[in-house]
Amino acid sequence: QVQLVESGGGLVQAGGSLRLSCAASGRTFIGYTMAWFRQVPGKEREFVAAIGWDGGSTDYADFVKGRFTISKDDTTYTLYLQMSSLKPEDGARYYCAAVRRLPRGWSNVFDAWGQGTLVTVSS
């Protein structure tokens, strides 16, 4: 069973910081590249950041480079997203997933999403 439980969202002022967490089951986490995505109503879900299965590589969308940091704890099967210098346009529901890189982008390995965690950034 796929387990992905995101938390840590909330309301923050522009320029502020938040740390998101994603609690996963071992079978959903170990051996997979893990990623964060975000979605606002009426728009497609978009890639934010990914971290390789061994933690040795990371990838970020251009719009978060230098502001967000993805990390993970393999002992607790937890994925993190440290968000700093937040902008109003960062407001969205954030989701985590195990992913696979494809030529056209990222694919959700288990085709399953958690409930997400809502981030609201006030100007």
Alpha-carbon gap, residue 103 to 116, rounded angstroms: 26
Give CA angle at 112 (29, 102), nearest 5°.
Answer: 75
Ranges of H-type helices in the chain = 26-29
**pLDDT 10s digits, 45-73:** 999 999 999 988 999 999 999 999 999 99
**pLDDT, tens only, 70-87:** 999 999 999 999 999 999
Tell me the three state secondary structure of residue 46.
Answer: strand
**Taking the CB of residue 35, how many other CB atoms lie within 10 A of it?**
26
Average pLDDT of the chain is: 95
pLDDT digits (tens, 9 = 90+) for 92-116: 999 999 999 999 899 999 998 999 9
